[in-house]
Amino acid sequence: MTKDKENHTNDVALWLNGQGVCSDLSATLLPIVNAGIEITDAVLAASLEGKTGAAGSVNVQGEEQKELDIITNDIVLRHLEDCRQVCASVSEEIDELIPITNADKNAPYVVCFDPLDGSSNIETNSIIGTIFSVLQLRRNNRPVTEADILGAANNQVAAGYVLYGPTTSLILTTGKSVAMFVLDCKTKHFVLVQSDMKILPETAEFSINSAYTRFWEPEIFAYVDLCIKGKSGPRQKDYTMRWSGAMIADVHRLFIRGGIFIYPSLNKPGSENGKLRFLYEANPTAMLVEVAGGLAHMRADTIRAHQPTGLHQRVPVILGSRNEVKILIDLYRH
Ligand code: AHM
Ligand code: MG
């Protein structure tokens, strides 16, 4: 890393140091943070450069890729290229695991990432983000395999996201606390603004795409019905609803004012496990939410106890304010 880049991430480096993070993990996270700074510029430039449209290709899930999906994926991979502690990465935009060629022989980390979550928001100039997770593997001098990565999914040592909205924000955890940094675009420096974010235990805000109501499981239907009944129903309070089309923007709201985010299993072909992918959407956001005192479930089971069976496996996702998530998971338990 050049001296210049070190300065860009100074507050983040200091914070990581204060969390007692080892130098190898810091050296893995700082390039991702730098990628977020470069992506901010790419997102700002995309419209005038005519790069907000479709790329003309599909990813492994059969979803249409946007030009910015590819550009941001390349930016993250380029920043990881010289990261000697990272043996491989997994991206929403690439079918197979991606070996990092310059890695040390027994490099312990795998970086899983969604380079541009909510990419259908690009053309409407709405919020998008980069989600990432660092898994720690046990290496034994042989090339890393998909099975190694799946086996290490529950050994997540860091998670975070960079949100490209009115400001660029970085939310990061290495397991002790969740910090928020905001990018100073003039100095290209992430400034620490909150060092110990907590998710409020109570909420009156839910987040689900209700266009799929007819495909919901009865438990989801029953829960949303409780919210909609408001003051005149058993919950005796009025709720509001928000759905941004970018999971990471909806998750960010959980940290700011509490809430519950749900992308459930849908009773239609291909959506039986919902839409969101375990390794680079559900698992990292679950770690952040849990460290901030919230709950992160699939149904009655927690997300972080799940053993994935594929790099791009989808899982139902329920995240947010502890007491509200409990009400929904109790419906699954009874
Ligand atoms: P993406 O990573 O390709 O953008 O897809 C995931 C996004 C989530 O951010 C968001 O919650 C969801 O897709 C929205 O899906 P839907 O259009 O079904 O509401
Ligand atoms: Mg995504």
Sheet of strand 156-164, all strands in order from the earlier edge strand to the far edge: 98-99, 86-91, 109-117, 128-136, 156-164, 168-173, 178-184, 189-194
**Given the structure tokens 């930016």, which residue do they identify?**
75
The dihedral sign for the CA sequence 55, 90, 312, 180: negative
Alpha carbon of residue 204 to chain centroid: 23
d(CA 130, CA 103): 23
Burial of 45 (0-12, 13-18, 19+ CB in 10 A): exposed
Among 263, 273, 281, 318, which is best to mutate for testing ligand 1, by the most ligand atoms less than 8 A from CB? 263
d(CA 169, CA 176): 19
Q: Which atom of ligand 1 is the closest one to the Cα of 248?
A: 9
Among 265, 276, 278, 285, which is best to mutate for testing ligand 1, by the most ligand atoms less than 8 A from CB? 276
Question: CB 152: neighbour CB atoms within 10 A?
Answer: 18
Question: CB 2: neighbour CB atoms within 10 A?
Answer: 8
> pLDDT truncated to tens, each residue of the chain (334 aa)?
444 444 545 899 999 999 999 999 999 999 999 999 999 999 999 989 988 888 888 887 888 888 999 999 999 999 999 899 999 999 999 999 999 999 998 999 999 999 999 999 998 999 999 999 999 998 778 889 999 999 999 999 999 999 999 999 999 999 999 999 999 999 999 999 999 999 999 999 999 999 999 999 999 999 999 999 999 999 999 999 999 999 999 999 999 999 999 999 999 999 999 999 999 999 999 999 999 999 999 999 999 999 999 999 999 999 999 999 999 999 999 8
What's the pLDDT at 3?
42
Find the radius of gyration of the CA atoms of the chain: 19
| Residue 47 one-letter amino acid | S
Q: Which ligand is nearest to the CA of 118?
A: 1
Contacting residues for 291 by C-beta, under 8 A, at least 6 apart: 173, 175, 176, 177, 178
DSSP character at residue 251:
H
For residue 134, how far is its CA from the centre of ligand 1 (angstroms)? 22
What's the pLDDT at 53?
84
What's the pLDDT at 217?
98
Q: Is the Cβ–Cβ distance between 121 and 98 less than 8 Å?
A: no
Phi-psi region of 156 (alpha: psi -120 to 50; beta: other; left: phi over 0): beta
d(CA 97, CA 144): 9
Written as six digits, the tokens of 112 are: 């899983």
Nearest residue by C-alpha to atom 17 in ligand 1: 245
Greatest pairwise CA separation for the chain in angstroms: 63
Q: Give the 3-state secondary structure of residue 170.
A: strand
For residue 266, how far is its CA from the centre of ligand 1 (angstroms)? 14
Q: Which ligand is nearest to the CA of 59?
A: 1
Within 6 A (CB) of ligand 1 lie 63, 92, 114, 117-119, 209, 245-247, 263, 275
Q: Is the Cβ–Cβ distance between 320 and 258 less than 8 Å?
A: yes
What's the pLDDT at 9?
55
Domains of the chain, start order: 3-194 (3.30.540.10), 205-333 (3.40.190.80)
Q: What residues have a C-beta under 5 A from ligand 2, the ion?
A: 114, 117
For residue 190, how far is its CA from the centre of ligand 2 (angstroms)? 23
Q: Is the Cβ–Cβ distance between 333 and 212 less than 8 Å?
A: no
Start-to-end C-alpha separation, the chain: 54
Strand partners of residue 213: none
For residue 118, how far is its CA from the centre of ligand 1 (angstroms)? 5
The predicted model scores a pTM of: 0.95
